[in-house]
Amino acid sequence: MVWRRTSKSCSQQWTCGGSSYIALLSLVLFLGRWITCNLKVVLPYFDKIVSPVSVAHFSQYKLVRLLLKRLENLGFHTCTPDMLQSLNQDMLWEKKILMGHECISLHPTDQGVMVGASFQKEGKMEERKFHCSILVASDGARSTVRNLVGINMKGEHDLQKLVSIHFMSKDLGQYLLQQRPGMLFFIFNPEAIGVLVAHDLNQGEFVLQVPYYPPQQKFEDFSSKVCKQIIFKLVGWEPVDVEVVDIKPWAMHAEVAEKFVSCNNRVILVGDAAHRFPPAGGFGMNTGIQDAHNLAWKISSLLNNIASPSIIQTYEVERRPIAISNTNLSVQNFKAAMSVPTALGLDPTMANSVHQVINSSIGSILPSSMQKAVLEGIFSIGRSQLSEFFLNEDNPIGSMRLARLRSIFHEGKSLQLQFPAEDLGFCYLEGALVADGGNRTLETEAASGHRSGPRDYIPSAKPGSRLPHMQVRALNASFSKDIFSTLDLIPGDKLEFLLIIAPVEKSYDLARSTLKVAEEFKVSLKVCIIWPEGSSDKQETGSGTKLDPWTNHIDVEEIKRSSSKSWWELCHMTSKGFILVRPDEHIAWRSDSDTLDNIVPEVERVLSLILGVEKSCV
């Protein structure tokens, strides 16, 4: 997958696979706007209290279609190898998304990376070369690029092998809508075990995850006919309209790459290529999109000669600790989910131990057919514990297990599906920011791997945190909407930093100085002045004369919920403070304006640290 910007004599190339495709398209989308402009994206969450939009469940392939559509609207074109034959060579790669290409080689050069990609032409595999300044690898959990540059993964390997069955059944969807509406179903019965994900009950779209144990059980054995029978066994009846769309094997890992950046900042891993988690909590796709959001503004700043190449290193510095933390949490959540079958007498660790024994020297002397029969026979005996004859209140053991199961659910010790503190409250401790110390809980927990369970999201203006959400109202006509979120203050049409202040004289002084220094650093900066609620009723409300000669500013007033905090209280600051926000909505710097004696040198120091440049080099 290639996008090239020839006007700057530089290019970027991506190779993609698996759910990293989402991270890749997100990155291209962010960059596609940020090379000339920035795309504003807010992840949906939590009933519009801590985010301007609410939570949603959206299938990956539908998100891919949506991202591709947005890219097309930005002038990108999806091309197959055959379509490239008719293109003018000079314009061949510009704003092209090349399908059917796979990275097979790469060689660092003085100016970038020479990449070899294979593609099929008239039934034969051929290779074409690309020279790019930056190679962004989002080629999935088995990343070829990662292997080619020699980056190893650290963590737990092969936690479980599964078969993913994508199927359609409106009959099943309607039944569940009427009888048992839900999104995620863990199914345990004497005939089969699986996890059913309902992507769209109205359309009857499902994905079924079934554990399997090679080499005794072969992926080739999971034909459409066999998969239909598994579906029937799991749902307990035979919907007549079941249509198997796709069948794929996959392995569950909990690993993070030792490095995210290689080859002198020329090769960058994102998404599953950089980290792979158990699918417990939705961390895989969310973390990949966060990777793209973090990286896009940095690549754009580099290409626009605003930042030095060292800004790429801050991507690894910031994102790798988050990936480690999310890996630990997803493993913990996966183990919590496994407490349910364990309570029922189906300890997954025992199943894996049985499989290891059969694969050992003792079991391996048996013919493969006998190994399979032994394995499935033992599993069948284990599943028999789920029969109504055994699992009932009159059976002492069955009654005890049911009581244990009720206790797990009552105490919330099973699978958790929402992680507000991690989805919205993750904080970068160092990187392209000016840290002010404080709580390092996230770093400690990431290293230890221990969590006490899902935590509430607490808005914070600490450097590295995501800008808190609050509804505000524009006090002038410079904004397209009357009421909007503070997150919408990050523009959607350019690569721009944001300085938030209160209407305080010393803060205006700081804003004028910051605008002047930003201009010298070639950084686009907008100033937002947040007025207290009710300011629109006053006759004199506005900051035009206070910030002359600069005009890139906006006055807004708070819209507080009943008994809610003011903006500065929400940020745990006073109205004497100020907040500098990066283009990815994370806070780069904060302080109190009346504590700065030498404003200009301090702002110069801050921008130098964030962008990795010295003023003399600007």
pLDDT in tens, 495-537: 999 999 999 999 999 999 999 999 999 999 999 999 998 877 6
Query: Tens digits of per-residue pLDDT, 296-332?
Result: 999 999 999 999 999 999 999 999 999 999 999 999 8
Please, what is the Cα angle at 512 between 511 and 518, to 5 degrees?
85
Q: CB neighbours (10 Å) of residue 84?
A: 18
The per-residue pLDDT for 446 is 42
Query: Are 119 and 96 a contacting pair, CB within 8 Å?
Result: no
Q: What is the mean pLDDT of residues 369-379?
A: 85
Q: What is the mean pLDDT of residues 18-33?
A: 60
Query: Does the pTM of the predicted model rise above 0.85?
Result: yes
> Confidence band (pLDDT; 50, 70, 90) for 492?
low
Q: Which residue has the tokens 């960058």?
A: 268
Q: Residue 580 to residues 314, 360, 500, 543, 611: CA-CA distances in angstroms?
A: 18, 59, 6, 18, 13
| Between 348 and 235, the higher pLDDT residue | 235
Query: Tens digits of per-residue pLDDT, 207-245?
Result: 999 999 898 889 999 999 999 999 999 999 999 999 999
For 530-576, what is the HEC assignment?
A: EECCCHHHCCCCCCCCCCCCCCCEEEEEECCCCCCCCHHHHCCCCCC
Nearest to 135 by CA among 313, 298, 1, 297: 1
Q: At what angle do helices 311-337 and 441-448 cross, to 10 degrees?
A: 60
The per-residue pLDDT for 36 is 37
Burial class (CB in 10 A: 0-12, 13-18, 19+), 266: buried
- For residues 262 and 259, give the distance between their C-alpha atoms in angstroms, rounded to a whole number: 7
Joined together, the tokens standing for residue 537 give 């009723």
The per-residue pLDDT for 582 is 97
Joined together, the tokens standing for residue 47 give 């009933």
